[in-house]
Chain A
Amino acid sequence: MPRTRKTLSILVAAALTVTACGRSGTAGTPATATTVGTGPATGTVTLWAQGAEAEKLPAILAEFEAANPDVTVTVTPVPWDAAHSKYQTAIAGGTTPDIGQLGTTWMSEFTAAGALAAVPADLGAGPFHPGAVASTRFDGGTYAVPWYVDTPVLYYRTDLAARAGFRQPPATWDDFKNLAKAMQTRAGAEYGVALAPRDFQGFLPFAWSNGATLTTPDARTWTLDSPAMIEAARYYQSFFTEGIADRTPSTDPGAYQAAFTDGSVPMFIGGPFEVAALADLGGPGFAAKYATATLPRARSATSFVGGSHLVVFEKSANAAAAWRLIRFLSLPQTQVAWYKATGDLPSAQAAWDDPALAGDPKLAVFGRQLQDVDSPPSTAEWTRLQDAGNAQMERLTVSGEDPARAMATLQATAAGIGTGAR
């Protein structure tokens, strides 16, 4: 039909003309920080939050709404797995809420898209854990407020470790491997430790602890085949080649937790929410059978820091109220109440002095671990690099590839991807 064809060709031509405009020099908008002031919040604030956070938020927000009677906060729960897509499309369609909960590794992508508002200079929140702050920065501006932090530590069965002859948590890499082996030979474990065979992020603490870095200090060049990196990879690989870790663990969600509670794999590395999951699964009394510990040390004992940030979107019609709400959520006392409701670790340093946190030995470990953490560079290319890393980890752990060669391949791929630094 000629008419359709003509309409189509006009569409194509029009689109091509406009498309040909080309990229302007910088994509990021300059940070135009507004001010919040101290008055009460008014109007409607929409907030998207993921999973457990969305479920527990309304109770915490009641206090904020009582103090600001003219404000209405609407919380929309978003499933974690699809949250990235939801924010991505909302930004493309210009239908973002006032406040969003963003994973720390998404920050650079959405900031580069110009979707986030800069944090007002007079917000006055914090101080936060330094490890959490790094990912809120982009091109010299600050675009998010850390909400909660998440860092993996070592979980191990104290009862089985005692049977294996260990009364203390493993302090060094050698201790760690010896304990894992002894768990198998002397405590009846099937595998000594649950390590992910295909997980670059899970390997990073080992790399960092061995003194390796992901990039040069200026964050412009990847350094994934340094001797320290290769040595860490060889150490990680040895758990699989020596049969201490399962090359093909079950991929059912929570399978490693079940193996931990039944003692068949009595160690894993995991975040704070495992405590609640293990209490559910292990039943009463199980808490006495295991402990958490900071990661074993090589040159350092560095873990990964993740978690969630709160952001205000550039298109928000009620930014002032949104920032006041974020300020409320970052107050130390709010964060302590939030920890009690959800188990999310406070990002505000002052919250850690509260007896609810300081008094719990399993949690104090997270506080200590947070003193030595690192995070991947703030680049939109991270997810892609991570995927390439996962593939090389699989070669290393499952196919038994030479660590030097695997890391060289990864470095070559990474060089092709680039760091995205301008």
Chain B
Amino acid sequence: MTAAARRRQAWTAWAFTLPFVAVFGLFMLVPLVSSVLMSFTDFRGSDVTTPWAVNVVGLDQYTALFADPAFRRAMLNTGYFVLVGIPLTMAVALALALALNTGITRFRTAFRVGFYTPVVTSVVAVAVVWRFVLQPDGPLNRLLGGLGITGPDWLHSTTWAMPSLIVMAAWRNMGTLLVIFLAGLQALPAEVVEAAAADGAGPWQRFRHVILPLLRPTLLLGAVLISVVYLQFFEEPYVMTRGGPLDATLSATYYTFNQFGFGRYGTASAAAYVLFVVIAAVSVLQFRLLRARE
């Protein structure tokens, strides 16, 4: 490209980004910078009318956080939720997307809408039905009883409350990933897939050696988006367990939410940025892993 063409392209690119940058700068960067600054102060709920009259405390909020057992517990819980939840959700969503994209000819629309309903169903209704399913003498335990297994009191057990919420989250979020994966599958060049079939590759080989590599950018997109959501998980424990029993389902975002509620803005901001660092690290890792063989 010539220098003139390059310069012209740069001008065009800036013109393309201008509306976004204006909104982004004003409504995202300014609040972001303020909240980062807040995490280095002792900002409290009672300081909102005089935001400049607070003390700079450096990293004190951060050291205090890591000294708080509830916060450490919340971080561990978040890790548990993410490490189990993301692979589970992605695997289920990918399996459904593949099945809907290739194997199904009838009722395709009905299936897609069906799998998407959990995403749109109000969390209140979801909570009521899931609590009903999971209660000690509920349908799930009756089913297990039929198989000779005595099910636990899922939501009140420190062992089983978290797995219950993970399954519920996977159920609620697979619809979003399904939509993204379907769009990705649709964008695959049909010739390549057909050519592989013509070469006599079986379904598994086709998936493993043709579809999966081509789908990598979409998988990365799905993985990053779902990580951002899962690392901030909050609604499930909020409506199901209130973080209990004994903090077994207290998440990092729930902890932050509580600190805001207590008026401890500085602590809450610090907690949010610790979580941010984790999210960023996980995303970088995903970029590396899924890009490796591009």
Contacts and interface: CB of A to CB of B under 8 A. Distances in A.
A19 interface: yes
A115 B262 CA distance: 17
A54 interface: no
A19 B49 contact: no
Interface stretch (B33-41, B115-123, B188-196, B205-213): B33-41
A15 B34 contact: yes
B46 A380 contact: yes
A92 B48 contact: yes
Contacts of B202: none
A186 interface: no
Contact of B247 (A11, A113, A114, A391): A391
Given A20-B56, A23-B53, A88 B247 contact: no
Contact of A380 (B50, B51, B263): B263
A84 interface: yes
Interface stretch (A244-252, A340-348, A353-361, A362-370): A244-252
A113 B49 contact: yes
Interface in B127-171: 128, 131, 135-136, 153, 156
Interface string A114-142: 11000000000000000000000000000
Interface stretch (A65-73, A210-218, A229-237, A393-401): A393-401
B261 interface: yes
Contacts of B34: 15
B128 A88 contact: no
Nearest to B33: A11
Contact of B153 (A12, A248, A387, A391): A248
Contacts of A21: 52-53
A299 interface: no
Contacts of A387: 258, 262
A288 interface: no
Interface string B217-255: 000000000000000000000001110111100000000
A15 B37 contact: yes
Given A21-B52, A250-B135, A384 B246 contact: no
Interface in A80-118: 84, 88, 91-92, 94, 109, 112-115
A24 interface: yes
A308 B47 CA distance: 23
B46 A19 contact: no
Nearest to B70: A391
Contacts of A114: 46, 49-50
Nearest to A248: B156
Contact of A19 (B54, B131, B241, B246): B54
B262 A383 contact: yes
A395 B246 contact: yes
B49 A250 contact: no
A247 B258 CA distance: 24
A8 interface: yes
Given A113-B46, A380-B44, A383-B263, A8 B33 contact: yes
Interface residues of B, number: 38
B87 interface: no
B2 interface: no
Contact of A252 (B131, B242, B245): B131
Contacts of B55: 22-23
B264 interface: yes
A272 B150 CA distance: 41
Given A23-B53, A24-B53, A16 B246 contact: no
B245 A109 contact: no
B246 A399 contact: yes
Contacts of B30: 11
B246 A22 contact: no
Interface string B45-77: 111111111111000000000000000000000
A23 B44 CA distance: 11
B52 A18 contact: yes
A114 B53 CA distance: 13
A110 B240 CA distance: 31
A157 interface: no
Contacts of B41: 19
A198 interface: yes
A27 interface: yes
A343 to B, nearest CB: 25
Given A27-B50, A248-B153, A248-B156, A109 B244 contact: no
A19 B269 CA distance: 16
A403 B72 CA distance: 25
B131 A250 contact: yes
Contact of B246 (A109, A113, A250, A398): A398
B45 A113 contact: yes
Contacts of B47: 27, 113
A395 B34 CA distance: 38
Given A91-B49, A92-B48, A250-B135, A22 B54 contact: yes
A22 to B, nearest CB: 5
Contacts of B153: 248
Nearest to B131: A252
A252 B53 contact: no
Contacts of A24: 53
A131 B263 CA distance: 25
A239 B56 CA distance: 48
B46 A109 contact: yes
A114 B245 CA distance: 38
A113 B54 CA distance: 12
Contacts of A18: 52
Given A198-B244, A398-B245, A399-B246, A12 B37 contact: yes
A385 B3 CA distance: 65
21 contacts: A11-B33, A12-B33, A15-B33, A22-B55, A27-B47, A112-B46, A113-B45, A113-B49, A114-B50, A115-B49, A248-B153, A250-B131, A250-B135, A252-B128, A380-B44, A383-B261, A391-B246, A391-B247, A394-B245, A395-B246, A399-B246
Given A23-B54, A27-B50, A198-B242, 11 more contacts: A15-B33, A15-B34, A21-B52, A22-B53, A22-B54, A22-B55, A27-B47, A88-B48, A112-B46, A251-B242, A383-B263
Q: Which 3 A-B pairs have the closest CB atoms?
A: A112-B46, A92-B48, A384-B262
